[in-house]
């Protein structure tokens, strides 16, 4: 497969362009929003009388999953648009989405495991939700490994676009599995919790008011900001690599 | 836009503070710094920072839960009765132990004077002791509450323990004949009434919960229900803030690694560009 891609002129791509105003604003919003979401979750929301302080990690655990959902969703969008337009920009967004989404998915897994220790008395159990979340993270880790292993640029971009689109099924499975598999012990906060759920708590108004801003931040501002920063770096990295190849070919 | 965002966040924090207070108010549980227990409707809440206390003036009765810095539960029970109610507990008129879901509790009954009775449950909680006490000072009534472990397999009725407690504690031991069933929020109680006396029993798990009343016993079902709801609904919220700190540290570490990798990659690009530039200059 040797698809032709639109290459940007090297000097323009290599130059460190100043940060766009909107990205500066998003970065500021991310920082302020992250601090405010922490204040809401740690100091404003009431302490759960059954679970104690550890319940507060919910305000990071659940939003981080939706942050990963959003970032992996951008990978799907980037993948489709790359396959259609063959513009490297969309492939860079897809790659950035995987890196940011994987970081968020790891936060989700780590916080879940730490919550489970005092509440379930174990760091890990092969519950359907936990297993699917682990498979999801491994699927996207494999994306990065596979990408590093393909040398042909055009083939790599096309193949990884298709991979990124299909990998999203693991995100959907993780999202919906506790609605389908009744054997789960993972609590459901919105809607009826499974009968076996352990560590459930009521989504009272205090919980909701701390959760909504955090959810909005992790779902929109945070992934977009980080993906934008990461794709800008990737753009310069690709241009520098091309410049290196050009110099090498001139020397040969 | 930034100003609007900060305004929105301020509104959310204010709303959060208000709604969190509202949650606290609507909670059927009373939270103290150390433990939780059900709120008793109709009882005056006299809580402090380190203890919970409810008072029912009509029956001159109080229910209190406290955590004391004493490892000996019996000594802690004496100290708390003295501190809260000015009672100098001599030797108890009844003393036993029961194993409940959250540990071994000492069951103690005191009658320091003619009008006062104190029914106490106390257990050790690491280096401290939890004391839950029921104290009544109504001259027209004598009330004793106790928990007795059932012998052998768990039964659904508390008849044997009711009989045992009545014969041991009633003065004088009168015959109880009339049987009544009380359906109360704490469970289904069986009551045996006699001449100016009432004994009530409820089986829960492997234990029987008993209330004995002599004199004006009309308030005994309500008092027994309130005390046993407190005993059965009492729990200590575990201190797992260390796990919260660990989870936050893990989240920050992963985010910091991602952001640092951005800086690291940018720096490497800059170094590569400098190298390319120096090579070009060398060639030129």
HSE of A58 in the Cβ direction (CA atoms, 13 Å)?
A: 26
Using CA coordinates, name the residue in chain B closest to A221: B5
Peptide linkage before B172 cis (omega within 30 of 0): yes
Contacts of B257 in chain A (CB under 8 A): 103
Q: Please check the confidence at residue B91 and state whether its pLDDT lies above 80.
A: yes
pLDDT computed for residue A1 by the predictor:
40
pLDDT computed for residue B229 by the predictor:
92
Q: Please check the confidence at residue A96 and state whether its pLDDT lies above 60.
A: yes
Contacts of A118 in chain B (CB under 8 A): 238, 240, 243
Taking only the tens place, the pLDDT of each residue in B107-122 is 999 999 889 999 999 9
Q: Do B2 and A28 touch (CB under 8 A)?
A: yes
Q: Are B85 and B128 in contact (CB under 8 A)?
A: no
| pLDDT > 70 fraction of chain B, expressed in percent and rounded | 92
Average pLDDT, chain A: 89
Q: Please check the confidence at residue A5 and state whether its pLDDT lies above 60.
A: no
pLDDT computed for residue B173 by the predictor:
60
What average pLDDT score do residues A62-69 get? 96
Q: Please check the confidence at residue A6 and state whether its pLDDT lies above 60.
A: no
Q: Please check the confidence at residue B147 and state whether its pLDDT lies above 90.
A: yes
Using CA coordinates, name the residue in chain A closest to B260: A230
Tokens for B126?
């690491």
Taking only the tens place, the pLDDT of each residue in B53-84 is 999 999 999 999 999 999 999 999 999 999 99
Query: Which of A15, A18, A111, A119 is most worth mutating to test chain B (most B CB atoms within 10 A of its CB)?
Result: A111
Cα separation, B174 vs B153, in Å, equals: 29
Q: CA angle A169-A61-A129, nearest 5°? A: 40
Q: Please check the confidence at residue B240 and state whether its pLDDT lies above 70.
A: yes
Cα separation, B159 vs A226, in Å, equals: 69
Average pLDDT, chain B: 88
Q: Do A64 and B251 touch (CB under 8 A)?
A: yes
**Candidate from A181-185, A190-194, B96-100, B219-223 with smallest mean pLDDT:** A190-194
What average pLDDT score do residues A151-176 get? 95
Centre a 10 Å sphere on the Cβ of residue A131 and count the other Cβ atoms it contains: 16
Between A42 and B10, the higher pLDDT residue:
A42
Q: What is the dihedral angle through the alpha carbons of A205, A209, A210, A211, rounded to the nearest 10 degrees?
A: 90
Contacts of A45 in chain B (CB under 8 A): 16, 20
**pTM, to two decimals:** 0.80
């Amino acid at each position: 497969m040797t698809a032709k891609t639109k290459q940007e002129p090297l000097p323009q791509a290599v130059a460190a362009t100043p940060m766009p105003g909107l990205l500066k604003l998003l970065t500021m919003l991310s920082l302020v929003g992250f601090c405010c979401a922490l204040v809401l979750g740690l100091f404003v929301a009431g302490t759960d009388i059954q679970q104690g302080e550890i319940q507060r990690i919910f305000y990071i655990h659940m939003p981080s999953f939706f942050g990963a959902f959003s970032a992996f969703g951008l990978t799907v969008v980037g993948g489709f648009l790359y396959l259609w337009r063959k513009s490297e920009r969309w492939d860079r967004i897809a790659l950035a989405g995987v890196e940011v989404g994987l970081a968020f998915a790891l936060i989700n897994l780590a916080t879940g495991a730490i919550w489970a220790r005092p509440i379930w008395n174990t760091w890990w159990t092969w519950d359907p939700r936990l297993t699917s979340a682990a498979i999801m993270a491994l699927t996207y880790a494999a994306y990065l490994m596979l990408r590093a292993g393909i040398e042909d640029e055009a083939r790599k971009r096309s193949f990884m676009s298709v991979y990124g689109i299909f990998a999203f099924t693991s995100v959907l499975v993780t999202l919906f599995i506790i609605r389908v598999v009744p054997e789960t012990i993972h609590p459901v906060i919105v809607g009826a919790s499974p009968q076996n759920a352990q560590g459930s708590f009521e989504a009272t108004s205090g919980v909701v008011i701390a959760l909504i801003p955090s959810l909005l931040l992790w779902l929109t501002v945070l992934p977009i900001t980080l993906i934008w920063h990461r794709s800008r770096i990737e753009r310069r990295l690709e241009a520098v690599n091309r410049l290196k190849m050009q110099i090498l070919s001139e020397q040969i | 836009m930034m100003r609007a965002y900060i305004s929105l966040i301020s509104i959310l924090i204010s709303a959060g503070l208000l709604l969190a207070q509202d949650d606290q108010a609507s909670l059927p549980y009373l939270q103290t710094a150390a433990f939780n227990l059900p709120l008793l409707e109709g009882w005056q809440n006299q809580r402090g920072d380190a203890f919970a206390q409810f008072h029912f003036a009509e029956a001159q009765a109080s229910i209190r839960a406290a955590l004391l810095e004493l490892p000996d539960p019996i000594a802690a029970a004496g100290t708390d009765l003295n501190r809260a109610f000015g009672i100098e507990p001599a030797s108890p008129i009844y003393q036993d132990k029961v194993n409940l879901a959250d540990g071994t509790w000492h069951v103690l009954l005191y009658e320091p004077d003619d009008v006062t009775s104190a029914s106490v449950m106390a257990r050790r909680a690491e280096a401290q002791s939890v004391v839950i006490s029921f104290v009544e000072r109504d001259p027209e009534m004598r009330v004793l509450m106790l928990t007795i472990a059932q012998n052998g397999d768990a039964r659904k009725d508390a008849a044997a323990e009711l009989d045992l407690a009545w014969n041991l504690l009633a003065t004088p031991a009168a015959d109880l004949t009339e049987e009544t069933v009380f359906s109360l929020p704490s469970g289904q109680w069986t009551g045996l009434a006699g001449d100016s006396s009432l004994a009530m029993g409820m089986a829960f798990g492997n234990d029987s919960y008993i209330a004995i009343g002599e004199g004006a016993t009309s308030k005994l079902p309500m008092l027994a229900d309130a005390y046993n709801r407190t005993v059965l609904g009492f729990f200590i919220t575990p201190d797992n803030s260390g796990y919260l700190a660990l989870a936050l540290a893990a989240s920050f570490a992963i985010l910091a690694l991602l952001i640092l990798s951005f800086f690291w990659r940018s720096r490497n690009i800059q170094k590569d560009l400098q190298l390319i530039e120096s090579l070009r200059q060398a060639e030129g």
